[in-house]
């Protein structure tokens, strides 16, 4: 399984980063987790043909996590896609998603391929797919609106957890095995009501028993490097915590 960080910025935007979203590749499976503002360009950079994308998983319906969806669909239409595309979102966001697609007049392009909108109960854990040696599931996050984190398990049993937007989440702490944790860190320090700071990622998450930790949803001009240096010798495993960059590829 490979994860490409398509974007790593918070909702505030960034000089150099796209808003946070991920591309997951495993065997023949290609899934976008959220869709930032430049999916067509980033997919070209990753050398991923649009026809290879099976679907999109939306963690929640905040604009910075899904505003690139219309651009993605437009590019697929222009490129002549014919295969169906699945979009997973919470049942709380399904009506909003359909309204957005209607506002963009997707059906009148005409789009030329089937859009399958699959909704799930965000308050429960859900297995979205189990194929190509990969299981993808969701679990509730702790954010301002209905939001889910993502768990990916490979055929070899390796586990990736993506927190999505959340304050510190006990569900992640309780996970018995995490080979790769991708966690939001909207600020460098302090306690946040619906997000997590880098300081809290290090102090709250069991970083000593996690294989790799990469932080996303980053905000420009925050003293992240100061925090990493501060905790490097104070918390066991803190040296494994890194800041992700756009187009960084991680293999599990």
Q: Please give the domain boundaries of the chain with CATH numbers for all domains.
A: 2-247 (3.60.15.10)
The predicted pLDDT at position 58 comes to 98
Contacts of 158 (CB under 8 A, 6+ apart): 1, 179, 180, 252
What is residue 180's DSSP assignment? E
pTM of the predicted model as reported, rounded to 2 decimal places:
0.97
Q: Name residues whose C-beta falls within 8 Å of residue 14's C-beta, 6 or more positions apart in sequence.
A: 8, 218, 219, 220
Chain segment 57-114, per-residue pLDDT in tens: 999 999 999 999 999 999 999 999 999 999 999 999 999 999 999 999 998 999 999 9
Q: What is the pLDDT of residues 25-39, one digit of tens each?
A: 998 889 999 999 999
How far, in Å, are 88, 181, 245, 249 from residue 216 at the CA level? Answer: 22, 10, 8, 13
Q: Taking a C-beta distance cutoff of 8 angstroms, is the pair 107, 115 a contact?
A: no
Q: What are the mean pLDDT values of the chain's consecutive 10-residue runs (252 residues total)?
A: 98 96 93 96 96 97 97 96 97 96 93 96 96 92 98 96 98 97 98 97 96 98 97 93 98 94
Of the candidates 56, 78, 54, the one whose C-alpha atom is nearest the C-alpha of residue 6 is 56
């Amino acid at each position: 399984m490979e994860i490409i960080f398509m974007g790593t910025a918070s909702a505030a935007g960034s000089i150099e980063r796209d808003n946070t979203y991920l591309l997951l590749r495993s065997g023949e499976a290609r899934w976008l987790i959220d869709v930032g503002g430049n999916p067509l360009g980033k997919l070209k950079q990753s050398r991923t043909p649009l026809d290879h994308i099976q679907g999109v998983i939306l963690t929640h319906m905040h604009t910075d996590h899904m505003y690139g969806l219309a651009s993605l669909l437009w590019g697929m239409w222009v490129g002549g896609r014919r295969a169906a595309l699945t979009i997973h979102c919470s049942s709380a966001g399904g009506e909003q998603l359909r309204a957005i697609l209607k506002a963009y007049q997707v059906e009148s392009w005409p789009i030329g391929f089937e859009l399958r909108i699959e909704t799930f109960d965000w308050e429960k854990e859900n297995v979205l797919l189990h194929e190509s040696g990969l299981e993808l599931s969701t679990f509730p996050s702790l954010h301002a609106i209905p939001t889910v984190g993502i768990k990916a398990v490979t055929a070899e049993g390796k586990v990736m957890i993506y927190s999505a937007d959340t304050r510190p989440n006990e569900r992640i702490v309780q996970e018995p095995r995490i080979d790769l944790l991708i966690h939001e860190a909207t600020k460098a320090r302090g306690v946040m009501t619906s997000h997590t700071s880098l300081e809290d990622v290090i102090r709250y998450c069991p970083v000593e028993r996690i294989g790799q930790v990469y932080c996303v949803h980053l905000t420009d001009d925050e003293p992240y490097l100061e925090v990493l240096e501060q905790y490097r010798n104070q918390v066991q495993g803190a040296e494994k915590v890194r800041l992700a960059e756009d187009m960084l590829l991680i293999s599990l």
